[in-house]
């Protein structure tokens, strides 16, 4: 729990942008998750630095939150501080030639739209992927053989001591659906190196990729693909369907029949429901096929009664 003195200091930092006992179901695409002890929206790096150092001084767990697209928060919520990057400082995009500077709070959709307007190619394959730029770095979001990290030239990251530094792409530690630097700190902004192209062709590709994504993914609230594709090169969705889980249900959560690697909130689902399905799928894949499925979604928080 956060003591009253720390709460007072948080309010000094961010004022009315501090909310206590904030339900995280309001901030995740799956619409599940218990409350955070404190939810703070910071508007610039100074506020973020003060908050990070305050949390460190009080040994308070600290969770950066992007768009909440690939996140499952357990039903007991988060015992600590959840921080959201807001304000113009974190949601600004600047383009000079083929170089793009984007704040971590910029939505990936808005970033792609801006690159279209400037006739810049390189992000089309990611069209339709939800979340923010910071989340795209953290998850190394990808589709159609292209990963966001491949387009990153450098990024600014704040560590858990409140120190900021600029890291080149080679020092970021990008991997399949992960980024070491983002796991250890808070992504502040990224610098992308794209290439000039034909605007009409770029826009056409984006429209096509968005349509393809919409055609295969369910419309119900979800956290996107639940498992990473196995190292063997197989599709996790195809494997889960072959194991007979398409349409399987636990409480209000069910495995989508449109895309078996997606678990949706069919109404009133809890994190416990989702995690129960994930456990069943993981066990069956290991027992029947000898395949260890690794979660792609990030699971945080504490167990709780619902």
> What tens digit of pLDDT does each residue of 66-124 get?
999 999 999 999 999 999 999 999 999 999 999 999 999 999 999 999 999 999 999 99
Mean pLDDT of 221-235: 88
Contact 67, 135 (CB under 8 A): yes
The predicted pLDDT at position 231 comes to: 77
Please, which pLDDT band fits residue 296 given cuts at 50, 70 and 90?
Answer: very high
Average pLDDT, the chain: 95
Half-sphere exposure of 250 (CA within 13 A, CB side): 15
The answer to whether residue 188 scores a pLDDT higher than 70 is yes
Residue 207's pLDDT band (boundaries 50, 70, 90)?
Answer: very high
Contact indicator for 135, 123 with CB cutoff of 8 Å = no
Q: Which of 107, 124, 130 shows the shortest CA–CA distance to 214?
A: 130
H helices within 118-228, ranges in order? Answer: 133-139, 180-184, 199-216
pLDDT band at 145 (very low <50, low <70, confident <90, very high): confident
Fold topology of 91-202:
3.30.465
CATH class of 218-300: alpha beta
Looking at residues 171-190, what average pLDDT do you find?
94
264 alpha-carbon distance from chain centroid: 17
What residue spans define the domains of the chain?
A: 4-86, 91-202, 218-300
Residue 192 pLDDT greater than 60, yes or no: yes
Q: What integer is the mean pLDDT of 195-217?
A: 95
| Strand-pair partners of 100 | 95, 192
Per the CB < 8 A criterion, the answer to whether 189 and 101 are in contact is yes
Give the pLDDT score at 95.
Answer: 97
Give the pair of three-digit tokens for residue 265. Answer: 């909130």
User: Given this model, what pLDDT does residue 232 score?
Assistant: 65
H or E element, residue 53: helix 45-57
* Whether domain 4-86 has CATH 3.30.43.10: yes
Q: Using the predicted structure, report yes or no on whether residue 305 has a pLDDT greater than 70.
A: no
Query: Among 100-109, 175-184, 188-197, whose mean pLDDT is lowest?
Result: 175-184
| Active site (catalytic) residues | 177, 225, 296
Please state the φ and ψ torsions of residue 22, each to the nearest 5 degrees: -80, 120
Residue 78: beta bridge partners? 36
Banded pLDDT at 304 (limits 50, 70, 90): confident
């Amino acid at each position: 729990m956060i003591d009253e003195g720390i709460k007072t200091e948080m309010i000094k930092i961010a004022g009315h942008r501090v909310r206590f006992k904030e339900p995280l179901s309001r901030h995740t695409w799956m619409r599940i998750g218990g409350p955070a002890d404190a939810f703070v929206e910071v508007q610039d790096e100074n506020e973020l630095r003060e908050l990070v150092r305050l949390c460190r001084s009080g040994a308070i767990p600290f969770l950066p939150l992007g768009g909440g697209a690939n996140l499952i928060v357990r039903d007991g919520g988060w015992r600590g501080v959840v921080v959201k990057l807001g304000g113009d400082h974190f949601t600004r995009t600047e383009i000079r030639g083929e170089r793009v500077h984007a704040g971590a709070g910029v939505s990936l959709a808005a970033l792609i739209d801006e690159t279209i307007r400037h006739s810049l190619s390189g992000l089309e394959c990611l069209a339709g992927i939800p979340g923010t730029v910071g989340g795209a770095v953290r998850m190394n979001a990808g589709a159609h053989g292209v990963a966001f990290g491949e387009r990153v030239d450098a990024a600014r990251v704040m560590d858990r001591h409140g120190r900021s530094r600029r890291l080149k792409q080679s020092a970021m530690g990008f991997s399949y659906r992960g980024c070491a630097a983002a796991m250890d700190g808070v992504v502040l902004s990224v610098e992308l190196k794209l290439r000039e192209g034909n605007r009409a062709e770029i826009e056409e590709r984006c429209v096509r990729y968005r349509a393809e994504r919409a055609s295969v993914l369910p419309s119900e609230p979800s956290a996107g693909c639940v498992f990473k594709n196995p190292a063997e090169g197989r599709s996790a969705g195809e494997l889960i369907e072959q194991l007979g889980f398409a349409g399987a249900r636990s409480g209000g959560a069910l495995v989508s029949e449109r895309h078996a690697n997606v678990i949706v909130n069919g109404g009133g689902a809890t994190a416990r429901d989702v995690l129960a399905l994930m456990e069943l799928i993981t066990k069956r894949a290991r027992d029947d096929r000898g395949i260890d499925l690794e979660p792609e979604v990030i699971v945080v928080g504490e167990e709780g009664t619902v």
